[in-house]
Structure 1
Amino acid sequence: MQNHFDLFHLPQRFTIDASALDSAYHSVQNQVHPDKFANASDAEKRVAMQWATRANEAYKTLKSPFKRAAYLCELNGVDLQTESNTAMPVEFLMQQMEWREALSEARAQKNRAELETLDDDIRSARKIELLEIAQLLDANDFTQAAGLVRQLMFLEKFADEVSIALDTLPD
């Protein structure tokens, strides 16, 4: 079975051309669109639907930097061990604790400015993490990248928490 990169005829790298991905996705979707199979047999319709579903899944995976990084690691035989390996560098854990404390205080005080600052800090940290991950993955260092992808997973979840906290504040 071909992987997501092969499906869209893209190089198997972290750094991808977003417009090429979009174009390839639309091309695949056009080939398997239900309208093209209106007069086809049930089996052909089912296969087309499976391809459309697969294309959607592949597109979502490659479009998201976090999912793309995790997929590349797994594709190259590196299990992220997200459930079993929670070892993180001390500095990263300390930063997480500081952010969690800041989030708790900002929520309690309903302090939009603090939440927005926290959101900016996380975006910056995420951007730096993604640059490091990109370098490692594009250099085929999947094992080293896996540790950073696990850290990115924490950043993604925390960013969602901050976003929810911002959304629940009154205007």
Structure 2
Amino acid sequence: MNYFELFSLVPHFSIDLSLLANTYRDLQKQYHPDKFVMAGDSERLIAMQKSTEINDAYQTLKTSCLRAQYLLLLAGMDIELEQRTLQDTAFLIEQMQWREKLEEFRVEDEDEIADFEKMIIQKIDDLESDFETNRQKNALEESAECVRKLKFMLKLQIELEQVEEKLFD
């Protein structure tokens, strides 16, 4: 089943997250395994499978990077398990510089850390926008490249949060 169809959504990158959450709750109410405790084994199994499918679909669609990856999958490009590296040399150099910067942050660099965090958020926004633009043009490889970069930026964001926790807790 197509996740967008399951949630009665048009397959777009930009979706209404509150509508997604509301539909998720409605579907879970309808198919939650607890409602089928007194049902037969086959009905309980079907309910459990449907509930799992609903959970998987929701987790995929609520997260921009997973949603982008899923849209690529629907278009015939599966990049989930690929080991391909980025070909953008400038981005690779930036990656190295950003990682070095993460390692160098100290408690007294609070303003610089805040600026770094803003830069990451802006890059994520730009990559999401670039993804949607490329996807609308059916430029799958360019869209996939945006997702690869987006994955890195989201990981960098998590690593920055870990650095902040270590420095400020």
2:28 matched to which residue of 1?
29
Conservation of the 8 A alpha-carbon contact between 2:120 and 2:157: yes
1:143 is aligned, of 141, 153, 157, to 141
Conservation of the 8 A alpha-carbon contact between 1:14 and 1:138: no
**CA displacement 1:11-33 (0-9 Å, x = unmatched):** 11212122221222122111112
Q: 1:144 to 1:7 in 2, by over 3 A?
A: same
**CA displacement 1:63-103 (0-9 Å, x = unmatched):** 00000001111221113276432033122122212211211
Structure 1 CA distance for aligned equivalents of residues 13 and 86 of structure 2: 24
2:158 is aligned, of 144, 160, 165, to 160
TM-score, normalization by structure 2: 0.90
Structure 1 CA distance for aligned equivalents of residues 86 and 115 of structure 2: 27
Conservation of the 8 A alpha-carbon contact between 1:69 and 1:137: no
Work out the number of aligned pairs and report it. Answer: 168
- Report the secondary structure of 1:11's partner residue: coil
Structure 1 CA distance for aligned equivalents of residues 78 and 21 of structure 2: 28
Structure 1 CA distance for aligned equivalents of residues 118 and 46 of structure 2: 44
Structure 2 CA distance for aligned equivalents of residues 93 and 132 of structure 1: 18
Greater relative contact order (Cα < 8 A, sep 6+):
1
TM-score, normalization by structure 1: 0.89
1:92 matched to which residue of 2?
91
2:128 matched to which residue of 1?
130
- Report the secondary structure of 2:168's partner residue: coil
| Runs (5+) with no aligned partner, structure 2 | none
Q: 1:140 to 1:16 in 2, by over 3 A?
A: farther
Conservation of the 8 A alpha-carbon contact between 1:13 and 1:138: no
Alignment root-mean-square deviation, CA: 1.8
| Runs (5+) with no aligned partner, structure 1 | none
Q: 1:57 to 1:35 in 2, by over 3 A?
A: same
- Report the secondary structure of 1:169's partner residue: helix
2:19 matched to which residue of 1?
20
Q: 1:28 to 1:138 in 2, by over 3 A?
A: farther
Conservation of the 8 A alpha-carbon contact between 1:34 and 1:49: yes
Q: 1:82 to 1:155 in 2, by over 3 A?
A: farther
**CA displacement 1:85-124 (0-9 Å, x = unmatched):** 2033122122212211211110xx3333332222111111
Structure 1 CA distance for aligned equivalents of residues 74 and 165 of structure 2: 36
1:121 is aligned, of 119, 122, 128, to 119
